Each structure stands twice: as structure tokens, then as C-alpha cells.
């Protein structure tokens, strides 16, 4: 099956994550994710994969057996089944040739992918782009990954002369809700030595650094009173929360930061005069910076509680995921080296980027499976202007094959002799 046809088939299944179901602990949070999981299991079986499993959480795993007697570590690849909840409509994907300028996605609704807004389009003049009709997400986040991985497996099966060790794949649900699928993934039972996610980024980009990420929930308890007799009695928890927010460091918010600059993100504020809940995301690339930010929130809660009275401010801090860079040092650095050689083998200049976000590989790495991130080639994730150059999608699949080849070369001829 052609990789473009494969990708478009996947986009026809609506796998929008459900925040409501996710908040209630349901996984997968949407039925389309299980539908896609079952379809992948059928396709994996047709390719001759072994140990195919579809769990009731919609986590899919399978193994391509080694075709060599050499002792080669088990390499693995991951994609996520769900798409973001920013748009919930069914995807109507289309393939359009891009000749430059603005690209019309929907003539009736006058929706255009405009070069002035997305200047990187100039890099794809002469290419075909996979886009929507402007009424939904494309779902390249992360169905491009799934298509690239499945295409690579199909290629390896069709070319048994390419020697390789065991190759495992994993497809997980609800990445768009705090990496829930990866957190539920059983790394030990999976049995891989290292892995790669494919998630985000234009052709050539390569991620082995992301946020240290934490969540803060601060509960403000006030004292309600009728306004006609409120003087000296009313203690407004909403105003307490606003004063707390005002004491956060100025300029250290997402809208003011870039690159490796960390931030505090005021993400949700809900309540009334009696009780208000504030939710914050805390992000920093360094472990020291992250710990300092979490400590600052904790101390601010203690100080404001002392100011406003006992139990007026309660703070809950939790770690979400760590910087994958922490798990790719020393003896665990080799997945980076292998991927960089694979890019070069495919004629692609590696472009390492620090991801201002999280991905499944960060969680998998924390669990003991070193896992950098390879590009899918797509742009404008979580937007109706999401697009995927066909050349980039094919390149992502080529890199997967090259990683498998370089893994064999590294361990059959290199490390095995050292």
C-alpha cells in the first residue's frame, strides 16, 4: 500500500481525544482510537508480524523478528493514536500540489493556507501537500508517524536482504492528555532495548531534549458573606487567586518566552468567592531550574497562607515528565548517534531542536527505554492549517528503515567487536 493512501485511510477514523472521558480515567478516551488500534492489528498480521497484542486500553504492540543470527539489540518505534481536541470534526484529507503562494483549502468557505502566515511553505514549492478542507485537523499528529512506521515495516518485509535484529512497534492512546498511553505502557514486558517516537516537526528535525514538566494545583479557601453585611467578614478567594498570580515572576509566561526559557503557565482558574482552584503548568529545561520553579510555587503558597490565614491556601505539586536528555547520557547515548547517522544516510541534514513540550518518549525514557524523537514532516499541529508534505512523510519512513539498518551495522560490526 502506498504511504499516502495508508495515511489518508488512517485520517478517516476520528480519533479525537476526549478530555472529559480522560478526566474520568477512561482509556482510550474515544472509541475511534480502539477502531484504529484494531485496524493496525489486522495490517500488522497481514505483514507477518508476531506477538501482536491489542489491549483494552487500545495499546498496540507487535514484533518483526530478526532475520540474522547476530546479537542485535531490540529497536522500537512509537506513534500515538489520538488527535488533539482543538477540533472534533471528521477529517476530509486531500492531496494538493503546491506551486507557491497561497493554497486554497476550501473554495466555498474561502479558507486558504497563506504563505504570508506560514513562510516555511516556500520550502515545499513543487511538492504535494496533504491538507484538510479547513474544517478539521489533518491528524498528522500523529497518524503520519503511524503511516511512516507501517510503511517501513512493509518495506523491510518486502526486502529480506536487509539484515536486521528484532524490531518492535508500539501505538498508544491519549498522548494529547498528559501522555496517558505512555504512562500506562509496560516497558519491561515490551522487551525493547531502545526506541524512537515519531511526533512533530518538519523534515530533518530531531529531538532529544524537552521540558522538565510539573503541575501545580492551588486551592484558595475564602469566607462567603452576603454583600450587604460583608464588611470585615467576606474573604474573596477569587481575589486571593488573582493576587497569587500577580506575584508570579513577570515575563516568565509562555507568551513571553522562547528557546530554552522556562515559564509558569496560568492554565485554569475556576471558582467563586468561597473557593477557587488555580492550575499552573511549570516548565524548565534544566533539572535545577525546574526544582527552583517548583520550590518557588511551594514557598509562595506558604507565604500567602500565612498572610490570609490557616488553610486559606493549599498547594499540590506533581511531576508530569522529565527532560528526555536526562535519560540519554553515558551508555544510553547511542540511540542519538544511530539516528544522526540514519538521517545522513538518507541525505537529510539533522536539525536538533529542544522541544518546548512533551512527548511519549520522555515518559518511556524515564521508565528505562531511551527514546529520542524523529520528525514526521508535518507542520501546524493542532490547527486547521496543519499540512504534511508528501516528500517529508516518505523521508520519515526512510529514516525508520535507516535506523534499523544502522542498528544492525552498529552492533553486528561495531560494538560486538569492541
User: Domain spans of the chain?
Assistant: 1-207+322-411, 211-319
pLDDT digits (tens, 9 = 90+) for 372-398: 999 999 999 999 999 999 999 999 999
Give the whole-angstrom CA distance, residue 235 versus residue 215: 26
Helix, strand, or coil here: 164?
A: coil
Give the whole-angstrom CA distance, residue 280 versus residue 316: 10
Helix, strand, or coil here: 119?
A: helix
The DSSP output letter for 83 is B
Mean pLDDT value across the chain: 95
Consult the annotation and say whether 199 binds a ligand. Answer: yes
Is 92 in contact with 136 (CB distance < 8 Å)? yes
CA distances for 2 relative to 29, 31, 105, 156, angstroms = 30, 26, 23, 14
What is the pTM for the complete model shown?
Answer: 0.91
Consult the annotation and say whether 382 binds a ligand. Answer: yes
Which among 315, 289, 290 has a CA at the least distance from the CA of 303?
315
Residue 349 in this model has a pLDDT that exceeds 80:
yes
Fold of the 211-319 domain = Alpha-Beta Plaits (3.30.70)
Phi, psi of 357 (to 5 degrees): 180, -165
Residue 414 in this model has a pLDDT that exceeds 70:
no
Q: What percent of the chain has pLDDT over 90?
A: 93
Q: What average pLDDT does the segment 48-64 reach?
A: 98
Does CATH number 3.40.630.10 belong to domain 1-207+322-411? Answer: yes
pLDDT digits (tens, 9 = 90+) for 308-335: 998 999 999 999 899 999 999 999 999 9
Per the annotation, the verdict on 410 as an active-site residue is no
Residue 416 in this model has a pLDDT that exceeds 60:
no
Q: What average pLDDT does the segment 2-10 reach?
A: 98
- The residue annotated as part of the active site, out of 82, 193, 386, 398, is 82
Query: In the prediction, which pLDDT does 413 show?
Result: 64
Q: How many CB atoms lie within 10 A of CB 230?
A: 14
pLDDT digits (tens, 9 = 90+) for 123-162: 999 999 999 999 999 999 999 999 999 999 999 999 999 9
- The residue annotated as part of the active site, out of 175, 284, 398, 405, is 175
Longest CA–CA span in the chain (Å) reads 85
Consult the annotation and say whether 288 binds a ligand. Answer: no
| Pair type for strands 75-80 and 167-172 | parallel
Give the whole-angstrom CA distance, residue 207 versus residue 210: 8
pLDDT digits (tens, 9 = 90+) for 70-128: 999 999 999 999 999 999 999 999 999 999 999 999 999 999 999 999 999 999 999 99
Query: In the prediction, which pLDDT does 55 show?
Result: 98
Please, what is the Cα angle at 289 between 285 and 295, to 5 degrees?
A: 135
Is 321 in contact with 219 (CB distance < 8 Å)? no
The DSSP output letter for 66 is -
pLDDT digits (tens, 9 = 90+) for 333-343: 999 999 999 99
Residue 177 in this model has a pLDDT that exceeds 70:
yes
pLDDT digits (tens, 9 = 90+) for 229-260: 778 778 899 999 999 999 999 999 999 999 99
The set of residues, in sequence order, having a beta carbon less than 8 Å from that of 329 and lying 6+ positions away, is: none
Sheet arrangement for strand 388-389: 94-97, 128-131, 388-389
Query: In the prediction, which pLDDT does 418 show?
Result: 42
For 279, half-sphere exposure in the C-beta direction (CA atoms, 13 angstrom radius) is 7
Per the annotation, the verdict on 82 as an active-site residue is yes
Query: In the prediction, which pLDDT does 193 show?
Result: 97
pLDDT digits (tens, 9 = 90+) for 359-375: 999 999 999 999 999 99
Consult the annotation and say whether 141 binds a ligand. Answer: yes
Amino acid at each position: 500500500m502506498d504511504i499516502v493512501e495508508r495515511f489518508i485511510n488512517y485520517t478517516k477514523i476520528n480519533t479525537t481525544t476526549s478530555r472529559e472521558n480522560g478526566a474520568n480515567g477512561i482509556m482510550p478516551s474515544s472509541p475511534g482510537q480502539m477502531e484504529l488500534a484494531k485496524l493496525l492489528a489486522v495490517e500488522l498480521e497481514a505483514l507477518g508480524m508476531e506477538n501482536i497484542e491489542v489491549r483494552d486500553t487500545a495499546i498496540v504492540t507487535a514484533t518483526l523478528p530478526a532475520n540474522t543470527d547476530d546479537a542485535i539489540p531490540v529497536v522500537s518505534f512509537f506513534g500515538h493514536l489520538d488527535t488533539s481536541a482543538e477540533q472534533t470534526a471528521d477529517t476530509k484529507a486531500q492531496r494538493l500540489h503546491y506551486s507557491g503562494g497561497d493554497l486554497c483549502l476550501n473554495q466555498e468557505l474561502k479558507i486558504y493556507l497563506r504563505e504570508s502566515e506560514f513562510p516555511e511553505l516556500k520550502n515545499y514549492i513543487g511538492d504535494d501537500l496533504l491538507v484538510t478542507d479547513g474544517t478539521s485537523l489533518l491528524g498528522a499528529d500523529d497518524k503520519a508517524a503511524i503511516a511512516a512506521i507501517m510503511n517501513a515495516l512493509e518495506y523491510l518485509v518486502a526486502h529480506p536482504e536487509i539484515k536486521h535484529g528484532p524490531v518492535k512497534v508500539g501505538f498508544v492512546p491519549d498522548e494529547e492528555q498528559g501522555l496517558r498511553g505512555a504512562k500506562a505502557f509496560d516497558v519491561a514486558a515490551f522487551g525493547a532495548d531502545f526506541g524512537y517516537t515519531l511526533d512533530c516537526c518538519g523534515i530533518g528535525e530531531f529531538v532529544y531534549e524537552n521540558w522538565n514538566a510539573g503541575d501545580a494545583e492551588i486551592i484558595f479557601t475564602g469566607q462567603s458573606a452576603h454583600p450587604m453585611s460583608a464588611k470585615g467578614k467576606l474573604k474573596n478567594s477569587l481575589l486571593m487567586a488573582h493576587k497569587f498570580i500577580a506575584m508570579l515572576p513577570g515575563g516568565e509566561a509562555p507568551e513571553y518566552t522562547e528557546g530554552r526559557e522556562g515559564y509558569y503557565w496560568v492554565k485554569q482558574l475556576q471558582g467563586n468567592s468561597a473557593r477557587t482552584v488555580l492550575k499552573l503548568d511549570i516548565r524548565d529545561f534544566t533539572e535545577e531550574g525546574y526544582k527552583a520553579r517548583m520550590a518557588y510555587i511551594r514557598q509562595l503558597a506558604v507565604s500567602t497562607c500565612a498572610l490570609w490565614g490557616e488553610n486559606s491556601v493549599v498547594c499540590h505539586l506533581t511531576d508530569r515528565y522529565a527532560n528526555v536528555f536526562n535519560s540519554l547520557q553515558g551508555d544510553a547515548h547511542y540511540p542519538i548517534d544511530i539516528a544522526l547517522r540514519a538521517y545522513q544516510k538518507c541525505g537529510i541534514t539533522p536539525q536538533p531542536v529542544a522541544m518546548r513540550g512533551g512527548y511519549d518518549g520522555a515518559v518511556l525514557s524515564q521508565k528505562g527505554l531511551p527514546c529520542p524523537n524523529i520528525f514526521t514532516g508535518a507542520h501546524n499541529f493542532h490547527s486547521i492549517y496543519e499540512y504534511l508534505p508528501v516528500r517529508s512523510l516518505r523521508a520519515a519512513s526512510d529514516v525508520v528503515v535507516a535506523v534499523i539498518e544502522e542498528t544492525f551495522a552498529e552492533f553486528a560490526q561495531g560494538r560486538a567487536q569492541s
